[in-house]
Homo-oligomer: A and B are copies of this chain.
């Protein structure tokens, strides 16, 4: 189970079950361990923030919005919609709550005054960092257990799991946000 050589099979579609020659071309054996570990790891990963958020009557939707606005100050509503891949109506609800409660502000675009550029307030940044801090604790605990190279290995694995189409865009987003958020330190 551990060292199956699968690299030759990955082009095959998965549908059949047995290995009758002439039928469906041998699906790769499901990688059950990774499938299930991803489920449980992600569950716990988002579970930490959930507890904090529930005390504020916020949910994961608020977390996602707050996170990306914090990471990309001055982003357009349209950009956020594209990242989150939800409708503006869905975004509107949670965004309105975040604005009403003073976690996020919208400023008219300088060049294009139709735009409502999004920024976190100090209050919003504090919350965003608190939530990121919880997740960071978990991640760093894992890295500490695993020894050096774990961060790089995790980054490479997760990156390779992203749709090849989006991958560049996601990496650009992360890099751009790195630039936009870091200078405040």
Residues of A near any B CB (own CB < 8 A): 1-3, 6-7, 9-10, 13-15, 17, 27-45, 47, 64, 67, 71, 85, 126, 129-130, 132-146, 150-163, 166, 170, 173-174, 177-178, 181
A75 shortest CB reach to chain B, Å: 14
Query: 7 smallest A-B Cβ distances: which pairs?
Result: A14-B133, A142-B160, A37-B158, A30-B132, A41-B161, A10-B140, A41-B158
Q: Which of B3, B33, B140, B157 contacts A9 (CB 8 A)?
A: B140
19 contacts between A and B (CB under 8 A): A10-B144, A32-B181, A34-B151, A34-B155, A35-B135, A35-B136, A36-B71, A36-B177, A37-B155, A37-B170, A38-B158, A40-B166, A45-B161, A138-B161, A139-B161, A146-B156, A146-B160, A150-B157, A153-B157
A139 shortest CB reach to chain B, Å: 5
Cβ of A181: which chain B residues have Cβ within 8 Å of it? 32
Cβ of A35: which chain B residues have Cβ within 8 Å of it? 67, 132, 135-136, 139
Q: Which of B7, B31, B144 contacts A139 (CB 8 A)?
A: B31
Given contacts A129-B14, A142-B157, contact A177 B45 (CB under 8 A): no
Are the CB atoms of A161 and B136 closer together than 8 Å? Answer: no
Are the CB atoms of A133 and B36 closer together than 8 Å? Answer: no
A17 shortest CB reach to chain B, Å: 6
Cβ of A43: which chain B residues have Cβ within 8 Å of it? 85
A145 shortest CB reach to chain B, Å: 5
Cβ of A150: which chain B residues have Cβ within 8 Å of it? 156-157, 160
Are the CB atoms of B162 and A32 closer together than 8 Å? Answer: no
Cβ of A158: which chain B residues have Cβ within 8 Å of it? 34, 37-38, 40-41
